[in-house]
Structure 1
């Protein structure tokens, strides 16, 4: 009950809304990484193939869903061989543009869906009690992995409350208290504790997480032991995994047993966002018009229930304008459906039973909007992350390994080109409501801003690659010119000496001891060469690579070559001539 005060000062108790239909879809974006290879060698297509090979193993609990339009079918989907589609699937398909249909349903290369059918329920505890009944048992309608050839993955979990299958205190009830639904939603979305409460006399305690979580399903395939977040050893478990030179937030212990073991393919999971999964919440209430301003703000921000606003009123001044979609919200005339979008959350509130099709739209049309948004956000973060690592490695080695930098940058440029022309959608449907909701979602996530930022980074990287290519071409041209000059000088020198213009023969010459002259030429050539090497060493001390000589070095090397040829001619010239005359 909630006490309401009227304009005349009278007070009366108003019952709180009851959640008669509760559905929750959690989307968790991840990226695949090679355990050993550096980011410069990242190839999303090859990594995706290795990941698919792992999921498609005969002993894997994951099964590929080749017909991706059937992604939302519930229990028994594994044995469904009927090629026909339902009216709900038809409505979902025609809702989107043809190029979006190709990406979501038709193209076999863009995306793959794998699902598990052995996980049927999840038990949730708000207070630890292994031997007590859970606070709520939810039905697992869908547990799927959407993997993309870019190396990105979105793990999807769809949960639903069914009073006939609940074993908690609300089993068989007509609905759930709104406060309980809000608290369950806020806590189940965390894949790892965001922080720990500390005190002098108690061990660190995980914050904003469930007390306990246990998956239920086919015995032998689903982990039987649940994960407790209130035990004394939770900090030690997480701290043990939060080690190494490249620390990363630990993947949630409650989710890791369900995911494939990437170590078999030498891969690792890479967390893209923070500890919060994006959550899509559907609430069918008996009286949605009884929701207060505080309720709406807390629902949209996925906060626990409370009587006061969770943030300052000035901060929330434009909450309705920026986050609420009220095309069908006007309780005084019977419109009782409101959408609240915050980017990290999407909430649909409606009067239960008033729009029977809305629940299917939520788990199909709106879910696909979330999937596209999450994938685009994850892919852009992935490209930016790769670019940062490659440029960082280039800066650390002082720009020495330019060729090793250009190749990974070329791969990143190719990835950005593919993303822009294959996976980048600013609109996904011609339906006005769908366009407006998708725009609202993208605006809150900042996808347009992120795309512009990453595109600018890639353009700068492309300019850098082009400069490296120009330098490589200029260097090759300089080396070619140097070699051509050296060969030309050698040819002219040898030809000139072979014409016997200066000295017809040793007998006719007045030069005296020819070998002595030849030795002198060798000494002069050697002295010039040593001088060049010493000058190079003084000028380039500390460098690990030879730098091709410029004009000054080229001139002295030409003199070295001339004196060397002259020495050869003066020393063994007649012997060479006699050998050719035989």
Structure 2
């Protein structure tokens, strides 16, 4: 049996990254630094204009279909609002998304384990920043034509790896390509991978307690630099999730019905190609896969009809679309599944991964703040309170601006989004983060109330005992003693004789206010006998202990 050929192949890597705070406490302003960076001569990045920046009469139907797919609040998230309705252009602008496109990389050359090379054309490389959230998402789309299924499976399995997980006995990076090269429009190599440099990866973890990004990904993201490195850069990032980047894949075949269950499983679960004809999986594995990961609304292999030849698979890590190459419903780049894959499906997948990345970011900041708390250090306590309040503010902004459980009333789009949310488990993650933020904020409020109550007790004790001094000074002011005719020095001396003891008594009262409050409570308690009340008085002055 001949190996199936993928007539058209597309792969979109969606890589969420955590951006480190800029220092002034405000989240989600890294795009301003990126705007300044792209203005420098020689920058490979440029700010990408949206479809809505064109004159209204030039607005295309494809963009219109994409826009109306989503519900109004999702439209505001993805596209912003009209200039006549935007209340604050400085904070909201025309869109909360700020997108930058890299234009110098035109080809990705991938060298497989057996030495074979394959060149993939680059469709686009976009970097998304989000207003008010310290998250960036890299979207990297490549494509190729007429490639064996085995090569497509290998590209899906190996390409999107930020760093190797391990090395084999020959010190070759396991599950990574032998070599990945970025080529410019003239075919010149701009950068290549260094997966095989085992010592560099090990030394980096030993020094920074953080994994090192492969050289070609580090080069692609510049001017962003890894946070745990010696590189200079204002925008610093670090890995947020698994080292394998989430992806989307589109594969068109002359006859998708010829694919075996094993082929669909390897595509949907993004595993490496099989080594033989024998099925390595049990029937139960395929049953679970079809029930949980396959969306077969347009897949009826028994009919062998082009209208029922499209299959969608989603496991959270990957969204894979398989169909018939000659079928316009599937392969038309404007009105077919290919157009929806690159636009509507890409956007809903990016939204789902953005939700998860944002929640992981907030959970990480809470964990870091808690790990740095030292309750015996007042500076550490103040820092902890400030960090928790900033996390609460960030969560509230995320909750009101970006969090939604539905994106569309269209059945296909809504059901695919629900599949993504279920596999990514964002709902339970949202509940965990919400409960953690609210719990820590409740702790801060309780601590503030405790401090306020303690302050009220101290002031109450000072006021009660201050009544003695007030009475004494008032008594002295009743002209029982004629000091009016005394010289000024005598008057000052008499004033100091009254001022110093009262001041000393006030400070002593503040210092012993907690014990004094207990003494006053004891005096008011009629059940206590006088010896017990005297013991409380002795405790005030430190002479007796309970």
Q: TM-score category by the smaller chain? A: 0.7 to 0.9
Alpha-carbon displacement from aligned partner over 1:36-55 (angstroms, at most 9, x marks no partner): x5xxx753134443344334
Q: In the alignment, does 2:184 pair up with 1:217?
A: yes
Match of 1:366 in 2: 345
Alpha-carbon displacement from aligned partner over 1:439-469 (angstroms, at most 9, x marks no partner): 1111011111111111111121221122123
- What secondary structure sits across from 1:255 in the alignment? helix
Match of 1:166 in 2: none
Q: Distance in 2 between the 1:499 and 1:403 partners?
A: 49
Is the Cα contact below 8 Å between 1:17 and 1:285 reproduced in 2?
A: yes
Calculate the TM-score normalised by the size of structure 1: 0.75
Q: In the alignment, does 2:262 pair up with 1:300?
A: no
Q: Equivalences for 1:268-347 in 2 at 5 Å?
A: 268-306=236-274, 307-309=277-279, 313-333=283-303, 334=305, 335-347=308-320
- Identify which of 380, 386, 410 aligns with 1:431: 410
Q: Distance in 2 between the 1:67 and 1:548 partners?
A: 67
Is the Cα contact below 8 Å between 2:298 and 2:309 reproduced in 1?
A: yes
Match of 1:91 in 2: 65
CA offset at residue 278 of structure 1?
Answer: 0.8
Calculate the TM-score normalised by the size of structure 2: 0.79
CA offset at residue 296 of structure 1?
Answer: 1.2
Question: Against the structure 1 CA distance between its residues 396 and 69, is the aligned structure 2 distance closer, same or farther, given a 3 Å change threshold?
Answer: farther
Question: Against the structure 1 CA distance between its residues 526 and 459, is the aligned structure 2 distance closer, same or farther, given a 3 Å change threshold?
Answer: closer
Q: Distance in 2 between the 1:155 and 1:469 partners?
A: 42
Q: Distance in 2 between the 1:396 and 1:309 partners?
A: 58
CA offset at residue 145 of structure 1?
Answer: 0.3
CA offset at residue 293 of structure 1?
Answer: 1.2
Q: In the alignment, does 2:143 pair up with 1:160?
A: yes
Q: Equivalences for 1:102-501 in 2 at 5 Å?
A: 102-107=76-81, 108-127=94-113, 135-149=117-131, 150-162=133-145, 175-197=146-168, 199=169, 202=170, 204-218=171-185, 224-230=190-196, 234-244=197-207, 247-262=209-224, 265-306=233-274, 307-309=277-279, 313-333=283-303, 334=305, 335-354=308-327, 355=329, 356=332, 357-395=336-374, 397=376, 401-485=380-464, 487-499=466-478, 501=480
Larger Rg: 1
Question: Against the structure 1 CA distance between its residues 160 and 496, is the aligned structure 2 distance closer, same or farther, given a 3 Å change threshold?
Answer: same
Gaps (5+ residues) in structure 2?
Answer: 82-93, 226-231, 484-493, 521-546
Is the Cα contact below 8 Å between 2:109 and 2:182 reproduced in 1?
A: yes
Alpha-carbon displacement from aligned partner over 1:225-259 (angstroms, at most 9, x marks no partner): 422434xxx012212332445x2222232211111
Is the Cα contact below 8 Å between 2:51 and 2:63 reproduced in 1?
A: no
CA offset at residue 58 of structure 1?
Answer: 4.8
Question: Against the structure 1 CA distance between its residues 523 and 366, is the aligned structure 2 distance closer, same or farther, given a 3 Å change threshold?
Answer: closer
- What secondary structure sits across from 1:328 in the alignment? coil
Match of 2:45 in 1: 62
CA offset at residue 343 of structure 1?
Answer: 0.5
Alpha-carbon displacement from aligned partner over 1:23-71 (angstroms, at most 9, x marks no partner): 1111000011148x5xxx753134443344334545422111231569x
Q: Distance in 1 between the 2:409 and 2:34 partners?
A: 35
- Identify which of 1, 4, 19 aligns with 1:32: 19
Is the Cα contact below 8 Å between 1:16 and 1:290 reproduced in 2?
A: no
Question: Against the structure 1 CA distance between its residues 400 and 145, is the aligned structure 2 distance closer, same or farther, given a 3 Å change threshold?
Answer: closer
Choose 285-294 or 397-406, whichever is displaced more.
Answer: 397-406
Is the Cα contact below 8 Å between 1:122 and 1:214 reproduced in 2?
A: yes
Q: Distance in 1 between the 2:397 and 2:241 partners?
A: 23
Is the Cα contact below 8 Å between 2:461 and 2:516 reproduced in 1?
A: no
Q: Distance in 1 between the 2:349 and 2:163 partners?
A: 22
Q: Distance in 2 between the 1:465 and 1:378 partners?
A: 26
Q: Distance in 1 between the 2:12 and 2:95 partners?
A: 25
Q: Distance in 1 between the 2:261 and 2:68 partners?
A: 36
- What secondary structure sits across from 2:58 in the alignment? coil
- What secondary structure sits across from 1:196 in the alignment? coil
Alpha-carbon displacement from aligned partner over 1:543-582 (angstroms, at most 9, x marks no partner): xxx98832528989xxxxxxxxxxxxxxxxxxxxxxxxxx
- What secondary structure sits across from 1:195 in the alignment? coil
Aligned residues: 485
Match of 1:43 in 2: 26
CA offset at residue 493 of structure 1?
Answer: 2.0
Question: Against the structure 1 CA distance between its residues 58 and 479, is the aligned structure 2 distance closer, same or farther, given a 3 Å change threshold?
Answer: farther
Q: Distance in 1 between the 2:429 and 2:262 partners?
A: 31
CA offset at residue 377 of structure 1?
Answer: 0.6
CA offset at residue 359 of structure 1?
Answer: 0.8
CA offset at residue 489 of structure 1?
Answer: 3.6
Q: Distance in 2 between the 1:520 and 1:19 partners?
A: 100
CA offset at residue 404 of structure 1?
Answer: 3.0
- What secondary structure sits across from 1:119 in the alignment? coil
Question: Against the structure 1 CA distance between its residues 487 and 435, is the aligned structure 2 distance closer, same or farther, given a 3 Å change threshold?
Answer: same
Is the Cα contact below 8 Å between 2:374 and 2:381 reproduced in 1?
A: no
Choose 477-486 or 352-361, whichever is displaced more.
Answer: 477-486
Question: Against the structure 1 CA distance between its residues 128 and 52, is the aligned structure 2 distance closer, same or farther, given a 3 Å change threshold?
Answer: farther
Question: Against the structure 1 CA distance between its residues 404 and 235, is the aligned structure 2 distance closer, same or farther, given a 3 Å change threshold?
Answer: same
Is the Cα contact below 8 Å between 1:34 and 1:266 reproduced in 2?
A: no
Alpha-carbon displacement from aligned partner over 1:244-276 (angstroms, at most 9, x marks no partner): 45x222223221111122365533211111111
Question: Against the structure 1 CA distance between its residues 347 and 483, is the aligned structure 2 distance closer, same or farther, given a 3 Å change threshold?
Answer: same
Q: Distance in 2 between the 1:83 and 1:494 partners?
A: 86
Is the Cα contact below 8 Å between 1:32 and 1:269 reproduced in 2?
A: yes
CA RMSD in angstroms comes to 3.6
- What secondary structure sits across from 1:229 in the alignment? coil
- What secondary structure sits across from 2:395 in the alignment? helix
